Amino acid sequence: MKAAKSLTAAAVLTLLASGSAFAYHDGGVAYCDGCHTMHNSSGNKAMGTGSNATQLKGVTYLLQGSDQSSTCLNCHATTSAKAGSYHIMTTDAAAGGTVPSNYTPGGDFAWVKETFNYNSHGTPTTSLGERHGHNVVAADFGITPDSTLSTAPGGNYPAANLACSSCHDPHGKYRIVDASGTVQRPVVAGTGYNGANDVAVSLPINGSGSYGAAPTTTEAVGVYRLLGGPGYLPDSVAGVAGIQPFAALPPYAVAPAAYNRSEASTDTRVAYGTGMSEWCANCHTNIHNSTANYDGGTSLIHPASSDSTLGANILANYNAYVSSGNFGGTVAGAYTSMVPFEEGTNNRANLALHAVNDGSQKGGADSSSNVMCLSCHRAHASGWDSMTRWTNKTEFLTVAGAYPGTDSTNTSAQSYGLGRTMNEVQATFYQRPATVYATYQRSLCNKCHAKD
């Protein structure tokens, strides 16, 4: 497996060097041997890893890792020294030690292995690692099923079956075929779901659609992040009672090509268009409110949908809010990736203009903008409970102009880190300096709600 993994990494690096970034998947299905082993034997040695290391004996789906997520992480996980690019998990991170070092918009899965203990108003409290993200089962990397939530909150998807492939179609069959963003999946008639997006004949995929590339009249591009679309149902949950194929389209979004980076100086702006919350509702169905506009809504759950435009008051707050006590900002500089929003458009060409990492697109929200699940949560994991982008369990995010932490020399600040060190807290803010915020910064809910 080491040889295969090295070859895979070498191939990726070669393609990166040639300018064809992130080309292993190329927006669709990659080469089979990248993930599967036909006989679990190469050079008279086993190719598999973990529990799959017995030559000539394979595991389910002939994967190279012990399970689906372990197979993905064989390439997408690495040490802090090599963090960056397509990596989504820091393998040597540890609570109180090396901090998770991947800063993708989705977050670093290392957080789901880090448990923190602290004292909350006199009560010993634990922030379990499994509360920090999606617990994609990856035996080779020590990620186990969520021990508390047996199914997806608001839905029936079983935690024991949660894998990277629960969200991402590893074979990448969904594709964007025209400038309008039409999504198609070619299928053989009679072999499965045949909804409106399933067609017998479609265009071949010639590259990723995650970074703004457009389809042509003869070639399609892959959907955002290889996410599953209508009819998607991993084999691992096929036949499980209550589990239905995905109903929603993959979201429309465009990321800058370099997205796994510190945001100490500039934001990594993913231009979210529409459909993110609807897509999350494939599994979190009942936690999703698709009808309420916050200013005029009546539902008693937070809105999050393509229909949930910000409304006049929230819009004004977002564009004016700078930090606690400072509402003197302008729309031209209002955007922050700590509280992103959807732009309310499927126009991928326009989204691509906004997907930057150099700080050149700081424009705030407008009347088309809407709140989505990722306005508050990270898709993979964060350093905080409920995988929120910031903690909602302490009054101050900064204390006396610095991030709090157990190692703070300011003893009054130590408790506000909720068991994390100062470095760990700063990592959850993607290395932004504390001076970006007020000296005593309160919750970033206030970016929209302005209660501070």
Please give the Cα distance from 137 to 70 (Å, whole number): 8
Q: Which residue has the tokens 């964007």?
A: 176
> 130 with 111: CB under 8 angstroms?
no
Counting every residue, how long is the chain? 452
> What is the per-residue pLDDT for 5?
41
Q: Which of 37-46, 155-164, 237-246, 254-263 has the lowest mean pLDDT?
A: 237-246
How does pLDDT run across 2-27, given as a tens digit for each residue? 344 443 433 433 333 333 445 799 99
One-character DSSP codes across 239-278: T-TT-----SPPPEEE--S--SS--SSS----EEEE-HHH
Q: Is 317 exposed, middle or buried (0-12, 13-18, 19+ CB in 10 A)?
A: buried
CA atoms within 13 A on the CB side of 270: 29
- As a whole number, mean pLDDT of residues 278-286 equals 94
CB atoms inside a 10 Å sphere around CB 217? 7
**Coil/strand/helix, residue 323:** strand
The region of weakest confidence among 42-46, 121-125, 281-285, 291-295 is 291-295
What is the structure's pLDDT at 352?
Answer: 97
Task: Give the 3-state secondary structure of residue 292.
Answer: coil
pLDDT of 258 higher than 50:
yes
pLDDT for position 55: 95
pLDDT for the residue 190: 78
Classify 258 in phi/psi space as left (phi over 0), alpha (psi -120 to 50) or beta: beta
Q: How far apart are CA 67 and CA 64, in angstroms?
A: 8
State mean pLDDT over 185-213: 91
Average pLDDT of the segment spanning 365-372: 97
Write the CB contacts of 260 (distance below 8 Å, at least 6 apart in sequence).
83, 84, 85, 86, 87, 102, 103, 104
Tell me how crowded residue 273 is: count the other CB atoms within 10 A of its CB. Answer: 22
What pTM, to 2 d.p., does this model score? 0.93
* Residues 386-426: tens digit of each pLDDT: 999 999 999 999 999 999 999 999 999 999 999 999 999 99
Q: What are phi and psi of 351, to 5 degrees?
A: -60, -40
pLDDT > 90 in the chain, percent: 86
Instruction: Give me the mean pLDDT over the 417-445 stretch.
Output: 98
Output the pLDDT for position 297.
Answer: 52
Q: Cα–Cα distance between 376 and 341 in angstroms, integer? A: 9
Mean pLDDT of 214-231: 98
Give the pLDDT score at 21.
45
How would DSSP label each residue in 142-194?
TB---SS-SB-TTS--BGGG--HHHHB-TT---EE-STT--EEEE--TTSS--
d(CA 185, CA 445): 38
Rg (C-alpha) for the chain, rounded Å, is: 22
Torsion, Cα 190 191 192 194, to 10 degrees, reads -40
- The owner of tokens 């609570």 is 95
- Do residues 373 and 341 lie in contact, with contact meaning Cβ atoms separated by under 8 Å? no
Q: What pLDDT is recorded for position 290?
A: 60
Among 50-59, 174-183, 290-299, name the most confident range.
Answer: 174-183
Q: What is the pLDDT of residues 35-65, one digit of tens each?
A: 999 999 999 999 999 889 999 999 999 999 9
- Residues β-bridged to residue 126: 117
295-332 pLDDT, tens per residue? Answer: 455 557 888 999 889 999 999 999 999 999 999 999 99
- Rounded average pLDDT over 126-155: 97
Given a cut of 80, is residue 214 above it in pLDDT?
A: yes
The predicted pLDDT at position 299 comes to 59
Q: Read off the pLDDT of each residue in 22-35 and give the average, rounded to a whole number.
A: 90
For 273-289, what is the mean pLDDT?
A: 91
The rounded distance, in Å, linking the Cα atoms of 342 and 330 is 19
